[in-house]
Structure 1
Amino acid sequence: MLHSAKQQSFSFHSELYNLIPENHLLRQIHDVVDFSFIHDLVRTSYCEYYGRPANEPELLFRLLFMQYLYNLSDERMIQEAQVNLAYKWFAGLNPEDTLPDPSQLSRFRNHRLGASQVDDVLKNIVKQCIDKGVIKSKTVIMDATHSLASSQTQRPLEILRDAAKRLVRVVVKKHPKLEKKLPSQPKLEKDQADAEKVMLHYLADLGEAVEHLLPDHEGAVSEKLHIAKQIVEDERLLANKGIMSAIDPDARFGWKSNTKSFFGYKEHIAMTEEEIITAVEVTGGSADDGKQFTKLLNQSLDTGMEISEVIGDTAYSSKDNLAVMKKEEIQPVVPLNPVVHNGGQKQEGFDYNKDADFVICPAGEHSIRKAIQGSKQTGKSRSLVFYFDVEKCKVCPLREGCFKPGAKSKTYSIRVVAEHYQEQIEFEMSETFTERIKRRPIIEHKNAELKRFHGLTRAKYRGLFRMRMQAILTAFAVNAKRMVKLINKMQPVS
């Protein structure tokens, strides 16, 4: 049951708060950021008339805010707030008041904010920045950074065993009488050749049995069952290119360069020139940066911000992205790359990775070399041809319809169609482009701040949903900190 937001009731001990310096960061944030919006945002996730009184949403959200501002765990946040006067004052509590259990932070984050439109959390602070005159530019800068998964990679057999074990454990814990009705795990011989296929069939049978026995499953059972089905349906699993962890099945391998890879997630970010983050999109580590452009642009426009210019790297220079910007009368300050803005029909499942400069096939294998074909004199009908390892193609589980038996090579061609981009090519040669593209590196500084000071280097939780929560709440905290700094600059010098 949700009550209206209550005011802090000062006690005799509240005089201790006078010890908090006036220029303390939390005092400054309290003065410029309005946190009351959270009450209406999460209202629909509570029952308003029945049940036990709930902890006040603004109290819990302020605790979450400090958690991401200072990069603390749920338990550490509550421990620190219990003895830190500034933390307790910011939360709206009296010095002698007790704090919620750490589990309340997790519940509020996942079941209250998560049940609402969590994007509105970020959108609200951006609107506050606009209302206070903090955002003056009409430019957004886009880039992506990455976070390492909180779990280690596993081999296919380990993934299958782990997923089965976790599903059986949660079913037996909640429904002990069903233990004997579940299919028994097969006994595998050491170095058994078809061990992975046997376990894959067992996991599929186990999932079907659980669905039959518990048609109304929910909670932890639903979560583990969903993971099991994801693994069974992943065609690339046995080739070591799909799901790499039964604990965090949404994490994926991504590439930072031709030789450096990572396992985790990508945060795609849009930011103003004032360094206020306007949009965040979270994907697995293998996602194409350029394909998130439209989502980032729409999220930024939804805040009420006017956008007349987008600055980014070559990942955002695809034909579709340029067409969207032209339609919206937005000037694209993005370097063109003949690989990214290609002509002709792309073969489904093949993606170009601009950081590593290779193409990744549907099975997760990447090209081993590239060559340019066509007339050098006229520049017409030229193509970039990417070559794959034929030996791997011969045994690939997805080779049907992709690799012809007996073929000596497997290639993927991208036709260079420069004439479609003549206007952008001419702009790229101008002094205006040269000057404006110099603004792009400031988003690199913001990415470094998110990772170095606010814990975005590694996922705190598992799964795409929780990673998204982490990224958006981190962006909110960073925006609030930046908002204070910008407003202080706007104040006249006394």
Structure 2
Amino acid sequence: MMGQTANQDQLFYAFNLEEHIPHDHLLRGINRFLDLSTLREHLAPFYSHTGRPSIDPELMIRMLVIGYCFGIRSERRLCEEVHLNLAYRWFCRLGLEDKIPNHSTFSKNRHGRFRESEAFRHVFEAVLGRCMIEGLVGGEGFAVDASVIKADANRANVTTPEDPKDWPGGDRLSRAVREYLAALEETNPVESDTDPIATPRTVSLSDPQARYTAAPGGPAFFAYSTNYLIDLDAGIIVDVEATQAHRTVEVEATKVMVQRVQDRFGIKPDRLVGDTAYGTAPMLHWMVNDKGIAPHVRVWDRTQRKDETLSSSEFLWNEAANEYRCPEGKPLKSNWRRFKKPRDHATQADTIVYRASSLECSNCSRKSECCPNTSHRKIARSVYEGARDVARRIAHTDEYKQSGKQRKKVEMLFAHLKRILKLDRLRLRGLAGARDEFILAATAQNLRRMAKWLTHAQGVPVAIAR
């Protein structure tokens, strides 16, 4: 006989939310390692002591962790998912009848007390501290890299010096535009209202802090860069920094991240792994001489010639004599006469030019393959060449080859960020908005990594959501 479900209302229900969450659910593993006990104390100075009680900040942080762990990009949809999903309610410590905060609460707190107190950075460092307690951070080797993330900006809605446009909104400028103008005034304050404000060639009218960039072979778009500094043992992100999508700014962000980890956790790596973008002479000098870090980085070197003439690497450097020797044994010096006042001969490009004798070059049998278009040979040596030589020597070691393989861990994190966490395009505008999103995403990645590694190591399976 065909059965039929009886729709009879019960007067009382015995319902235990804990029993309905699978033991291998990802949130169970994350909940074990997410400790927000210090959050309220951290935020206390930013709340009033009178008035109506606000939404619990720990509840909002837990909801945001769910959103970034499971790729729920909209806060409106996040509130709906937490309302419907039992596991999400359990993780947020909500009962079946507890109300979900309105989605506008997140925006109000994010632009207010969360940003003023750096609450997201506090949560990230609390999670990182737990990773260190669990032994997932060795501190011996770090890797650094940057990835470009599209901004929430239309590349057709721009202003240029050739076609200037007014900021949309008139007197009521958007938050992203106000932050951009405030940053300009801070770096280059104007003396009067008539002074022009310096702007890049192409500026987005909706998110002017986003950088107009293009990947090789692809169309240009507005974007920001997320910079990761990871520990090579388990691929834990030890720091993250949001910057404009520009190579020089990305490289400088590395110094900020390494110093911040050293100041707050007392950890300085023995080696730093990166691609060629981090192999500039000033950066190598900072690693070798300022920080005492072994640079496992390919040197940014443009001394190799492509016209089949002799490159500077074929000249022998004599440190004691402060000179080069050409293949024929002739010297190249930075000064051929003595000065009463010693000079360092450094140029604005931080190089010292070493020159051969015009007479010796003109009588040399190999002039055609050395300096066919000039009267004598010149070599521009960087004032940081000593650090570059250290990096070149390391590049021939087995440790360097191993570092090249380990560097793939940071590339995998960027792929996970875009494909699994769905952060291939930002939702918030401005550099501050990009910073919030990148920090929360890095926090979610560290939590997922802990939940996967440590729970498996202790014999409890965890279902990793895709």
> Do Structure 1 and Structure 2 share a fold, with TM-score over 0.5?
yes
Q: Contact between 1:248 and 1:462, CA under 8 Å: does it hold in 2?
A: yes
Q: Contact between 1:81 and 1:87, CA under 8 Å: does it hold in 2?
A: yes
Q: Give the C-alpha shift of residue 156 in structure 1.
A: 2.2
Match of 2:348 in 1: none
CA distance, structure 2, for counterparts of residue 220 and residue 422 of structure 1 = 44
Identity percentage of aligned residues = 28
1:4-83 equivalences in 2 (<5 Å) = 14-47=15-48, 49-72=49-72, 73-83=74-84
- The answer to which of 64-73 and 471-480 deviates more is 64-73
Q: Give the C-alpha shift of residue 250 in structure 1.
A: 0.4
Q: Contact between 1:150 and 1:458, CA under 8 Å: does it hold in 2?
A: yes
CA distance, structure 2, for counterparts of residue 166 and residue 55 of structure 1 = 31
Given candidates 295, 308, 312, the residue that maps to 2:256 is 295
Match of 2:204 in 1: 245
CA distance, structure 2, for counterparts of residue 121 and residue 372 of structure 1 = 56
Q: Contact between 1:227 and 1:246, CA under 8 Å: does it hold in 2?
A: no
Matched residue SS, 2:170: helix
Residue by residue over 1:350-374, the C-alpha shift from the partner in whole angstroms, topping out at 9 and shown as x without a partner, is xxxxxxxxxxxxxxxxxxxx99998
Q: Give the C-alpha shift of residue 161 in structure 1.
A: 4.0
Runs of 4+ deviating beyond 6 Å: 227-232, 370-374
Q: Aligned pair in 2 of structure 1 residues 16, 169: CA closer, same or farther (>3 Å)?
A: same
1:172-321 equivalences in 2 (<5 Å) = 226=182, 233-237=196-200, 241-242=201-202, 244-257=203-216, 261-273=220-232, 274-288=234-248, 289-301=250-262, 302-321=264-283
Residue identity opposite 2:284 in structure 1: L
Residue by residue over 1:268-299, the C-alpha shift from the partner in whole angstroms, topping out at 9 and shown as x without a partner, is 11011211111111111124232222112123
CA distance, structure 1, for counterparts of residue 315 and residue 431 of structure 2 = 48
Residue identity opposite 1:57 in structure 2: P
Given candidates 403, 413, 417, the residue that maps to 1:446 is 413
Match of 1:87 in 2: 88
Give the number of the structure whose residues are more often helix, by fraction. 1
Match of 2:97 in 1: 96
Q: Contact between 2:281 and 2:385, CA under 8 Å: does it hold in 1?
A: no
Select the structure of larger CA radius of gyration: 2
Q: Give the C-alpha shift of residue 166 in structure 1.
A: 0.7
Match of 1:156 in 2: 159
Q: Aligned pair in 2 of structure 1 residues 492, 225: CA closer, same or farther (>3 Å)?
A: closer
Q: Give the C-alpha shift of residue 24 in structure 1.
A: 0.9
Match of 2:376 in 1: none
Q: Aligned pair in 2 of structure 1 residues 492, 155: CA closer, same or farther (>3 Å)?
A: closer
1:337-486 equivalences in 2 (<5 Å) = 337-339=300-302, 378=315, 415=380, 417=382, 419-420=385-386, 421-486=388-453
Q: Give the C-alpha shift of residue 423 in structure 1.
A: 2.5
Residue identity opposite 2:171 in structure 1: V
Q: Contact between 2:30 and 2:447, CA under 8 Å: does it hold in 1?
A: yes
TM-score by length of 2: 0.71
Task: Give the unaligned 5+ runs of structure 1.
Answer: 1-10, 172-218, 343-369, 382-413
Q: Give the C-alpha shift of residue 432 in structure 1.
A: 2.1
Q: Aligned pair in 2 of structure 1 residues 170, 332: CA closer, same or farther (>3 Å)?
A: closer
The structure showing larger relative contact order (alpha-carbon pairs under 8 Å, at least 6 residues apart) is: 2
Q: Give the C-alpha shift of residue 468 in structure 1.
A: 0.5
Residue identity opposite 2:428 in structure 1: Y
Q: Contact between 2:295 and 2:394, CA under 8 Å: does it hold in 1?
A: no
TM-score by length of 1: 0.67
CA distance, structure 1, for counterparts of residue 133 and residue 140 of structure 2 = 15
Q: Give the C-alpha shift of residue 160 in structure 1.
A: 5.2
Equivalent pairs counted in the alignment come to 373
Q: Contact between 1:254 and 1:285, CA under 8 Å: does it hold in 2?
A: yes
CA distance, structure 1, for counterparts of residue 415 and residue 57 of structure 2 = 31
Residue identity opposite 1:299 in structure 2: R
Q: Aligned pair in 2 of structure 1 residues 159, 15: CA closer, same or farther (>3 Å)?
A: farther
Q: Contact between 2:83 and 2:89, CA under 8 Å: does it hold in 1?
A: yes
- The answer to which of 108-117 and 478-487 deviates more is 108-117
